């Protein structure tokens, strides 16, 4: 131990602390002591390298609980794909939290910040959430917003679609499907919650394209269904009763199967054009039977991988988006189902 201390240029007490795994020694000093011990044959080389290896990054993904199938798929993917994250030396865990509640989200951010090295979450646009993100940044715990961003915040990065462009895409698809009927037609929207910036931006893009290119289209209302299939069914039924000539419906969030049921139950003379988000088993079935005309989606595995790469970049001192591909939207029809 005297020789190890001399070679590492530290005290005998420091060598004793390192070799017995006690705390209170800087990481760089620990590495120097272990390297000296291995070179002198005091410990095995493999044992030294194992001890010097940094602990895996502990990443928490906070997923809103509920009936949104795309978010469920995302959570399952995180749990089942640990081998994909191994090259990045990280461990990912999905945690389901209360949906549409900013106070609950802020509480969970701070709670998980005590044990995680990074947190990815679907943001709610609210001051308490912004404050929680700022507190975590102050503590050195980076956050990444996933699917829905948080304005004027200290989050490290955002991973998700350009949601304004997604809303414009939905409006463009509806207009092209309607053809000459765009001169005079009624369309409607159902959102999960406008507390999500993603849903608010999709609405804005949707409205703007019609105002800009198809002024004859009348957008008759926006309702919130909180991504719940039964609430969406009730909202859609109310829209059909109020507007029997509704030409199209855009589902900004989840719960598309509820709208599909409402379309079948309404017995309308002409099926409204129906555009939704997120390719799941439910939206896939609606595409196949013709109830849903198109789905705007993103690759969930690619989104999670982008989060992992960003956290790895931050750990290694690189620019957050270095080597990270931008999330791209895909438009899926019945004829090009993957």
Summarize pLDDT for 183-194 with one digit per residue, the tens: 889 999 999 999
> Is there a contact between 253 and 100 (Cβ–Cβ < 8 Å)?
no
Query: 42 pLDDT band (50/70/90 cuts)?
Result: confident
Round the average pLDDT of the chain to a whole number and report it. 92
Which range among 4-13, 81-90, 129-138 shows the weakest confidence by mean pLDDT? 81-90
> With 90 as the cut, is the pLDDT of residue 180 above it?
no
Position 80 scores a pLDDT of: 86
> With 70 as the cut, is the pLDDT of residue 287 above it?
yes
> With 60 as the cut, is the pLDDT of residue 337 above it?
yes
Q: Give the integer Cα–Cα distance in Å for 338 and 329.
A: 14
> With 80 as the cut, is the pLDDT of residue 44 above it?
no
Region 147-157 average pLDDT: 97
Outline which parts of the chain fall under CATH 3.40.50.2300: 57-160+299-327, 163-297
> With 60 as the cut, is the pLDDT of residue 239 above it?
yes
Outline which parts of the chain fall under CATH 1.10.260: 2-52
Position 49 scores a pLDDT of: 58
Given the candidates 3.60.60, 1.10.150, 1.10.260, 3.30.950, the CATH classification of the domain at 2-52 is: 1.10.260
> How many Cβ atoms are within 10 Å of 127's Cβ, its own excluded?
10
> Is there a contact between 51 and 33 (Cβ–Cβ < 8 Å)?
no
pTM: predicted TM-score of the whole model, two decimal places:
0.83
Q: Does domain 57-160+299-327 have CATH number 3.20.20.70?
A: no
Pairing of strands 90-97, 57-64: parallel
Distances (CA, A) of 94 to 17, 63, 73, 193: 36, 7, 11, 22
Q: Which has the closest alpha carbon to 275: 315, 333, 200? A: 333
> With 70 as the cut, is the pLDDT of residue 45 above it?
no
Q: Percent of the chain having pLDDT more than 90?
A: 74
State the architecture of 163-297 in CATH terms: 3-Layer(aba) Sandwich (3.40)
């Amino acid at each position: 131990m005297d020789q190890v201390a001399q070679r590492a240029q530290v005290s005998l007490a420091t060598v004793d602390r390192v070799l017995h795994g006690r705390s209170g020694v800087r990481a760089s000093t620990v590495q120097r002591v272990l390297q000296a011990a291995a070179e002198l044959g005091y410990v095995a080389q493999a044992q030294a390298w194992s001890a010097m290896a940094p602990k895996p990054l502990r990443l928490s993904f906070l997923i809103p609980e509920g009936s949104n199938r795309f978010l469920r798929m995302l959570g399952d993917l995180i749990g089942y794909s640990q081998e994909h994250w191994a090259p990045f030396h990280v461990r990912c865990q999905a945690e389901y939290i209360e949906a549409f509640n900013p106070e609950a989200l802020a509480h969970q951010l701070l709670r998980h910040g005590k044990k995680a090295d990074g947190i990815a979450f679907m943001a709610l646009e609210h001051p308490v959430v912004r404050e929680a993100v700022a507190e975590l940044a102050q503590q050195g715990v980076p956050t990444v917003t996933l699917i829905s961003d948080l304005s004027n915040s200290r989050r490290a990065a955002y991973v998700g679609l350009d949601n304004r462009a997604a809303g414009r895409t939905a409006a463009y698809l509806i207009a092209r499907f309607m053809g000459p009927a765009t001169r005079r037609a009624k369309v409607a929207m159902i959102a999960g919650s406008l507390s999500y910036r993603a849903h608010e931006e999709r609405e804005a893009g949707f409205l703007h394209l019609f105002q800009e290119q198809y002024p004859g289209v009348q957008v008759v209302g926006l309702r919130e269904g909180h991504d719940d299939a039964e609430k969406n069914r009730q909202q859609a039924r109310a829209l059909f009763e109020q507007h029997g000539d509704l030409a199209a419906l855009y589902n900004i969030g989840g719960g598309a199967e509820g709208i599909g049921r409402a379309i079948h139950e309404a017995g309308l003379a002409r099926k409204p054009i129906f555009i939704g988000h997120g390719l799941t088993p439910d939206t896939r079935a609606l595409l196949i039977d013709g109830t849903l005309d198109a789905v705007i989606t993103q690759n969930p595995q690619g989104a999670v991988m982008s989060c992992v790469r960003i956290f790895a970049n931050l750990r290694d001192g690189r620019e957050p988006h270095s080597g990270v591909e931008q999330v791209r939207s895909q438009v899926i029809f019945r004829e090009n189902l993957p």
